[in-house]
Structure 1
Amino acid sequence: MSETPKTDHAYDGIEEYDNPLPGWWKWLFIASIVFCPFYWVFYHSGTKGRSLEDSYNVALAENTRLQFEEIGELKLDGPTIARFMGKDSWVKVGEAVFRANCVSCHGREGEGKVGPNLTDDFYKNVAEIGDIGLVIANGAGNGAMPKWSNRLHINEMVLVSAYVAKMRGNNVDGRPTEGRQIAPWPDVPADDAETTEGGEGEEADAEGPA
């Protein structure tokens, strides 16, 4: 028979041992409660730059800046967009920009919501690959597509353009076709195609981000 003392509590014949929590645990619990309001005031009082989201955005911007140092400032034109379509590691950066800014209108996979489907061969404001960058930079449809030149770095616009161009042909079910069918994109030059496992091609002059 256990000699451990019991409390006076009994429920349907079930008794409770008197095993109080250690003092250090109680004080730790009390300290965490006292700490909470100070933490909330410091990080969640609306002061800019203190939240975890702000810290993440600063770190992300710094990382992006370091990546862009590898390729310099790009030119927002058709040949540059076509060249970066062949660099899978940089296209992933464009995908991140798309996921952060474009899914509310175009859908996560480019299937179209408010904005048109980006995965078919029909376009409303694009006749050639360079027009993708112009639409992103300047907007279209009398503001229905907002301009992003005042919110995105030019390299981000080039890379997201390359990602959008690469979506073509996926034919994801979504909004029906809109606009007119246009000619295929130009082929990516062999020396600009990024080497992938089991694939061909040589690494271009600009390496992908680490």
Structure 2
Amino acid sequence: MTTDSRPTDPNEPPLVGHSFDGIQEYDNPLPGWWKWLFVGTIVFSLLYWPFFHSGAPGRSIEERFSIAQAENMRLQFAEIGELKPNEETLVRMMNDPGWVKVGESIYRGNCASCHGIDGGGVVGPNLADDHYKNVRDISDILRIVQVGAAAGAMPAWQNRLQLNEQILVSSFVASLRGTTPASPKPAEGNVIPPWPSMIEFETEAEAEAAEAEMDPLLTTEAEPVTATQIEDVPASDGS
């Protein structure tokens, strides 16, 4: 259906020669700069795609992100050196909010797809309750992160993450215990004792330090007195 394209007001732009349900539109084309900008984005995309997605090493956004992330990890780990893979380290990192955040970032990038962002479980089990299938103490979390479990359903990360990353993500997983996920999976496995606290390790360290201080006093043996030393002792005149 066509209509008169002449506007009713001589100051208005002309109308296009069609109408839809009685609705007409002005014949007001886009400005030239907008059209050229649109063409420019198409040309830019033709250059952008082969440069960043041609397979050349170090060019893709994913690779650049991985490189930047690795450099950031290197700088962070320089502060703490190489962590010891033991219970005390796991508990200490679990109670340090700054390093828990680092562990969380590792978790989100590698574990959240199976265990959920909040640890409630998706394909993998719920990590927030007190029930565990393969864990008996906190050090078992690190062991499972390293070697995997459930016949490969839980993959081994020993050769995929640095040791510090393994420890920090294990500490974060331990910190999820007792939290409240949005949609937790039903509990699996058995209830295990609570994680040890830093007070236990501090008390143990104090006891070891006290024992170390006392040890030289208890173990030092008296040196035997030689004949020469006896001769050197002045004789008493009885006065």
Q: Which residue of 2 aligns with 1:113?
A: 122
Q: Is the 8 A contact 1:9 1:16 kept in 2?
A: no
2 CA distance for matches of 1:10 and 1:142? 69
How far apart, in 1, do the equivalents of 2:187 and 2:194 lie?
Answer: 16
**Residue aligning to 1:197:** none
In structure 2, what is the Cα distance between the partners aligned to 1:13 and 1:135?
Answer: 68
In structure 2, distance between residues paired with 1:63 and 1:15: 56
The answer as to whether partners of 1:10 and 1:16 remain within 8 angstroms in 2 is: no
Residue 16 of structure 1 is matched in structure 2 by 26
SS of the residue corresponding to residue 156 of structure 1 reads helix
Indicate the residue corresponding to 1:125 in structure 2. Answer: 134
What letter matches 1:164 in structure 2? V
Distance 1:82-1:36 versus aligned 2 partners, 3 A rule: same
Structure having the higher strand fraction is: 1
Q: Does 1:177 align with 2:187?
A: yes
In the TM superposition, 1:1-210 aligns within 5 A as: 6=14, 9=17, 11=19, 14=24, 16=26, 21-170=30-179, 172=181, 174-189=184-199
| Aligned AA (1:146) | P
Counterpart of 1:139, as a letter, is G
Quote the offset at 1:177 in angstroms: 2.4
Shift of 1:42: 1.4
CA distance in 1, matches of 2:14, 2:165: 68
SS of 1:55 mapped into structure 2: helix
Percent of residue pairs bearing the same amino acid type: 51
8 A Cα contact 1:138 1:148, kept in partner: yes
Tell me how far 1:66 sits from its aligned partner.
Answer: 0.8
Mapped to 2, the partners of 1:112 and 1:171 lie a distance apart of 12
Ranges in structure 1 where 5+ consecutive residues have no aligned partner:
193-210
CA-atom RMSD in angstroms: 2.7
Whether the 8 Å contact between 2:141 and 2:170 is mirrored in structure 1 is yes
Aligned to 1:203: none
More helix by share: 2
Higher mean displacement: 158-167 or 56-65: 56-65
Distance 1:10 1:145, change over 3 A: closer
If the length of structure 2 is used for normalisation, what is the TM-score? Answer: 0.69
Cα shift at 1:52: 2.0
Aligned residue for 1:178, secondary structure, equals coil
Structure 2 CA distance for partners of 1:34 and 1:116, relative to 1, 3 Å: closer
Q: Which amino acid aligns with 1:40?
A: W
Unaligned residue ranges in structure 2 (runs of 5+): 1-8, 203-239
**How many Å apart are 1:73 and its aligned residue?**
1.2
- Measure the CA separation in 2 of the matches of 1:5 and 1:120: 69
TM-score by length of 1: 0.77
Distance 2:200 2:43 in 1: 63
